[in-house]
Structure 1
Amino acid sequence: MLNTKILIVEDEVLIADYIAELLEEEKFTTIKLAHDEDEAKFLMDSFLPEIILMDINLNGLNAGIELAKNKNGKAKVIFLTGQYDYKLMNDALQTNPDSYLTKPIKKQDVIAAINLVIIKQKANFITIKDGYDEVKISLDDILFIKSDANYIDIQLLNKKYTTRQSLDAFLEEIQSDNFKKVHRSYIVNRSKITKKNSTSVFVNEIEIPLSRKLDFEL
């Protein structure tokens, strides 16, 4: 996905430019640079990057860690650091980054880290047709899927998408253990189940029938 939106947050201009050049050589086309905290906040809100290469020691204040805690949406963070300090790295790891790279930055390390994030992201999304548009849906946002003849309804928290597909084909496509067929007409995201009894599972207050033929445990 060479059009993946990448934000480089690095106060050393030469390093930021060097990383951008490495990415451009690999044909990544959607790259923005931020050299301070305010610029980074603005671009996280407006550019909405999918991957952030984040300098931990931004302006010498470790501001990268705080920025990572307040990143936009589901953006993935790869930390950049020029030193190894146990407490600093422990604080950084608490933000659950996808990777971290040490300076001096090496091309093969940057590209490998970004490609790994892209592979993980791709595995966690499904793309469906919505009219004439293609919509990318995060699997984490799906509550359950209901079958209706030759169509399925993909239920999110505040939205529903309908597409022509079978439940079994959906399961085959996503290849995720988080999703379980609990009834001939329903697949449920196991992580969204809030309650279960002998005949039903519940996603929040929505009751979904549980097939007697299926051996299902939370």
Structure 2
Amino acid sequence: MYSSINILILEDELIIAQDLVEILNELNYQEVFMARNYEQAIALLEQHTIDLALLDINLKAAKTGVDVAHQLRLKYNIPFIFVTSYSDNDTIQDVKQTKPSGFLIKPYTKELVLASVEIALFNFANRNHPEEFVASNSEFSELESSPIVNGYLLIKEKYRFVKVAVADIYWLVSDKNYVEIITQDRRYIVRNSLKKLMEQLPSENFIKCHKQYIVNLKFVSSFTPNSLFVNEVEIPISRSTQEEVLNLLIKSN
């Protein structure tokens, strides 16, 4: 199942908010929700599955973007980027305790919005693998990983990430430096290794049955000592994995 990335914008200046929505839409992020105050932001968080928030620090209200950030950190566990006109040291020191995924300084360009959003999503998804974190915008073009977060595989397509439900993956097959991911709806090609993907996939559902294949056990319709079948497609079982694969298939049936 394919799903869009949902982005929340907290901004009390309507023109600025609409400009940011337009930029995100141009970058193919179509599911964007706008809030003008703390209460609206929390209501949207309760109503929708939000993947990333862009928060204006200074709102013309008692509660600010920093208050929303605290809630995101404590209750919702999603990444957020502060959007502000102020880049002075005092402002940075005041908000850094919330551990934002980035800062976007006004006025911003479409390129900076793109880099900030994708780096925030990538780093959040890889938060348990700090060696893979992206440190700066200069490394943006090197984002080739396909991290898994909240049951979704994040796949980079052109200028955005899309979410693919891990539970809907039929099988994965490697071809040198690329992996093809097959789901019910479509196929995706990512620049990654089968080994890295296997480390992220739930071991109770996925098994590497061959040096080139990983299969979701729940979609296996039949099998022989040397092959298994998913949607009538034959997938080989290597000799080295044969015993483990067959034991798991017998148990799952």
Give the alignment's TM-score, normalised by structure 2. Answer: 0.50
Q: Which amino acid aligns with 1:18?
A: D
Q: Tell me, in whole angstroms, the C-alpha distance in 1 between the residues paired with 2:77 and 2:210.
A: 28
Alignment of 1:14 with 2:15, yes or no, is yes
Change (3 A) 1:2 1:117: farther
Alignment of 1:64 with 2:88, yes or no, is no
For 1:204, the equivalent position in structure 2 comes to none
Alignment of 1:164 with 2:171, yes or no, is no
Contact 1:52 1:76 in 2 (8 A): yes
Hey, which of these two has a bigger chunk of helix by percent? 2
Q: Which amino acid aligns with 1:87?
A: D
Change (3 A) 1:87 1:27: same
Q: Tell me, in whole angstroms, the C-alpha distance in 2 between the residues paired with 1:168 and 1:117.
A: 34
Q: Tell me, in whole angstroms, the C-alpha distance in 1 between the residues paired with 2:67 and 2:49.
A: 17
For 2:82, the equivalent position in structure 1 comes to 79
Identity of aligned residues (%): 25
1:116-155 aligned at under 5 Å gives the runs 116-120=119-123, 121=125, 122-125=146-149, 127=153, 128-129=166-167, 154=202
Following TM superposition, the consecutive aligned residue runs of length 4 or more in structure 1 with deviations greater than 6 angstroms are 130-134
Q: Tell me, in whole angstroms, the C-alpha distance in 2 between the residues paired with 1:2 and 1:108.
A: 23
SS of residue in 2 equivalent to 1:54: strand
Q: Which amino acid aligns with 2:167?
A: K
Contact 1:130 1:163 in 2 (8 A): no
Q: Which amino acid aligns with 2:206?
A: R
SS of residue in 1 equivalent to 2:98: coil
Change (3 A) 1:49 1:131: closer
Q: Which amino acid aligns with 1:54?
A: L
Question: Residue deviations 1:136-194, cap 9 Å, x none?
Answer: xxxxxxxxxxxxxxxxx95xxxxxx831315998xx9xxxxxxxxxxxx9xxxxxxxxx
Q: Tell me, in whole angstroms, the C-alpha distance in 2 between the residues paired with 1:51 and 1:59.
A: 22
Q: Tell me, in whole angstroms, the C-alpha distance in 2 between the residues paired with 1:165 and 1:5.
A: 31
Change (3 A) 1:131 1:79: closer
Shift of 1:60: 5.8
Give the alignment's TM-score, normalised by structure 1. Answer: 0.57
Change (3 A) 1:165 1:43: same
Shift of 1:117: 2.1
Q: Tell me, in whole angstroms, the C-alpha distance in 2 between the residues paired with 1:15 and 1:40.
A: 16
Shift of 1:90: 1.4
1:1-218 aligned at under 5 Å gives the runs 3-59=4-60, 63-71=64-72, 73-120=76-123, 121=125, 122-125=146-149, 127=153, 128-129=166-167, 154=202, 162-166=204-208
- Which residues of structure 2 form unaligned runs of 5+? 126-145, 154-165, 171-182, 185-200, 215-243, 245-253
Q: Tell me, in whole angstroms, the C-alpha distance in 1 between the residues paired with 2:21 and 2:96.
A: 24
Change (3 A) 1:30 1:11: same
Q: Bigger relative contact order, structure 1 or 2, given CA contacts below 8 A and separation 6+?
A: 2
State how many pairs are aligned.
147
Q: Tell me, in whole angstroms, the C-alpha distance in 2 between the residues paired with 1:168 and 1:92.
A: 49
SS of residue in 2 equivalent to 1:58: coil
Q: Tell me, in whole angstroms, the C-alpha distance in 2 between the residues paired with 1:52 and 1:123.
A: 19
Q: Tell me, in whole angstroms, the C-alpha distance in 1 between the residues paired with 2:47 and 2:103.
A: 24
